[in-house]
Amino acid sequence: MVSARQAKRLEKYIDGERQGNDPYDGGDRILNDEPEPKKTAIGFQCLQDSDSDSEAESDNSDEEGKSADPMESPPPATQPSIPLANKRLHYKKKKAKNTSKRRNLIPDPPIHDQVLQVINSHRNDPESVPNASTKWNELLRVRLRLTNAEREMNRIFKIKAEKETAKRPKGGRFRDPNKVAWRSLRKTLMVTPDASWSRPPSFIGGGIRWARCGRPEGECWDECCEYFQVVWSSEYEKSSKMFQTVQSFHDPQALAEFLQRNPYQLEALLQMSRVYQHHGQMDQATDCIKRCIYALELSWSEHFDVSNGRSRMDYHMETNTTFYKALFLYMQQAGRRGCVKSAFELARMIFSLDPHGDPMSVVLAMDYYALASRQYTFILELMDANIPAIDRLSSCESSSLSTLPNLQLSSALAMFHSEKEEASEQLAKALLMYPSVLGLLLENCNGKSSSETWRSILEDSRFADARPLEEASALAHVLSIYVLRHAQLWKSEDVLRFLLQGAKLATESSVLRSAYPQVMELPPSLSKYHQAATQDYTDEVTTLPVDDPMPIEVHPLMEQMDANPRIQLVQEEDDVLRLTGNPLLLFLQSLLPWNRMESRGN
């Protein structure tokens, strides 16, 4: 395509040729026998652009566009001369000005169209809809950085945290790629990796990964949430089956040998942490859990974000169960070390994965960690949220989570620490509904129940004549867990005075006594908490006898130990090539050093 200025130059050249004069060499004639390439070269020069022509053409096109545009006001009689260097910038400014004027002439859409656009945008954005699910999601936002128990321990003792990246060695620039270089690819927040840990395998290399999935079947799976599942690779699935075989031996040494070959088999790490815990080796138990959390966090998808409160995972999916168990054990270890803030964030993270089903019964411990870390607002907001609780293994109707006795008592204690006037009334309501908890709390508070002050209250008809609960009931089980877990929060003198004040109000107020009768059983949807293990809600650890067999610690630099004969037998069965099959394929597989042919019996 030829531009306007190139066409003018060609026209000028053709006119000069017709007249017998070259317009470029001062009127000299062009000979007929002159070689053709010279004309071609001259014609090619006519098509070339020059700065002077460009600037002149810009001025001409500017004036033409200005006169042709009816929306422009007529130019003044005299215009100031524009310098040559600023002509192009002046043209761009005028062009932008003309464009803005044309845009201003476009009429605005009607008001009702704008309203419809806003409504449609809010309908497509689930976070903009002010419903109950949005309030719950705001309550379940997890501060992932605070889940690191080691960092909280450093803050407690004011220890300067070490740099996560390794320093350059003095002798040279070499760094171990398995320990330093790869860690810069992705930073973990929940744990601080140890320098001796190897790199977890990728999904292709035999690891796991996070993936989106559809909404599970059942009630209370919100549409505005995102759902994820853990996907196992084929190699990891094979190692999981091998772990089931090792676990059936009940041999700690076999488990240690299996972990030496599969250092990031998650189920084996959790099982080994329990073995170390029962033998009193808490450091090794914590190390196994941290390695498990470390491998899980590195496999997270970029869309899996627990900080928004909208990420959900189905516990009853086989591949997701390990993630729940690892988080629960990590929460226990953090709480036992005194890192209550990290334990609270971990408990909230577990609860946010399925707040309605609560498969790990973490709500029985979450309120304790919230009180211990002074997160009083969270407990009060959790009570006001009235989150429906369901049992995903039964078809019973849902009921409010705030009817649990531990939340009723913890909310009263949170009101007291928040200096709210209705704290005593809330405590009196809880004591009237669950009168047996008063005596249990006093028995765990250094025998305060034997004092004269408390004796008169305990002899009142509402507490003395309270109907005993069945030992096998879910309510009695939940109350025993609450006293075991929360008793130390009621031992201070000011809290005991608050407890005495609430108990007196419960005995003196006839209005409260008639409005809040004794509760004998939990709703059917809350009976699932009867399955919660009592030992999971205490800092005390049951240890095995000293003479119990303990696995030998396997150091990473030790040579490969001989495999257990039973494990080796299972491995050999997988490596044996069956004689029935394609002969050519059997021949090629037999060339591999780890395969052997099956022998025929005579």
**End-to-end CA, the chain:** 89
Q: Which pLDDT value is given to residue 219?
A: 87
pLDDT for 322-377, tens place per residue?
Answer: 999 999 999 999 999 999 999 999 999 999 999 999 999 999 999 999 999 999 99
Question: For residue 419, what pLDDT is reported?
Answer: 94
Q: What are phi and psi of 440, to 5 degrees?
A: -65, -40
Token pair of 100 as six digits:
């803005």
Tell me the CA distances in angstroms from 317 to 227, 239, 301, 446, 468, one per residue in order.
12, 18, 18, 45, 39
Dist CA 362 CA 378 (whole Å) = 15
Model confidence at 9, pLDDT cuts 50, 70, 90, reads confident
Q: Tell which residue, 502, 406, 421, has the closest CA to residue 454.
A: 502
Nearest 5 degrees, angle CA 349-CA 278-CA 472? 70
Mean pLDDT value across residues 514-539: 93
Cβ neighbours for 255, distance < 8 A, ≥ 6 positions apart: 246, 247, 268, 271, 272, 275, 551
Domain boundaries 133-162+183-361, corresponding CATH code: 1.25.40.10
Going by C-alpha positions, the residue among 383, 184, 188, 384 that lies closest to residue 292 is 188
The reported pLDDT for the residue numbered 188 is 86
Would you say 448 and 519 are in contact if contact means Cβ atoms under 8 Å apart?
A: no
Closest CA to 291 of 201, 365, 228, 229: 201
Query: What is the overall mean pLDDT for the chain?
Result: 77
Q: What's the rounded Cα separation, in Å, for the pair 214 and 231?
A: 14
- Residue intervals of the chain classified under CATH 1.25.40.10 are 133-162+183-361
Give the C-alpha separation, 512 to 427, whole Å: 11
pLDDT at 176 over 70: no
Question: Span 375-391, mean pLDDT?
Answer: 94
Residue position matching structure tokens 């009689």: 77
Mean pLDDT calculated for residue range 216-231: 91
Give the model's confidence band at 387: pLDDT under 50 very low, under 70 low, under 90 confident, else very high.
Answer: very high
Which residues lie below 8 Å from residue 71, measured CB to CB, with a gap of 6+?
Answer: 98, 101, 102, 105
* Distance separating alpha carbons of residues 588 and 580, to the nearest angstrom: 14
Q: For residue 457, is pLDDT > 80?
A: yes
Question: Around 560, how many Cα atoms within 13 Å sit in the side-chain half-sphere?
Answer: 6
Average pLDDT over residues 190-207: 92
Q: Are 99 and 269 in contact (CB under 8 A)?
A: no
Question: Does the predicted model carry a pTM greater than 0.75?
Answer: no
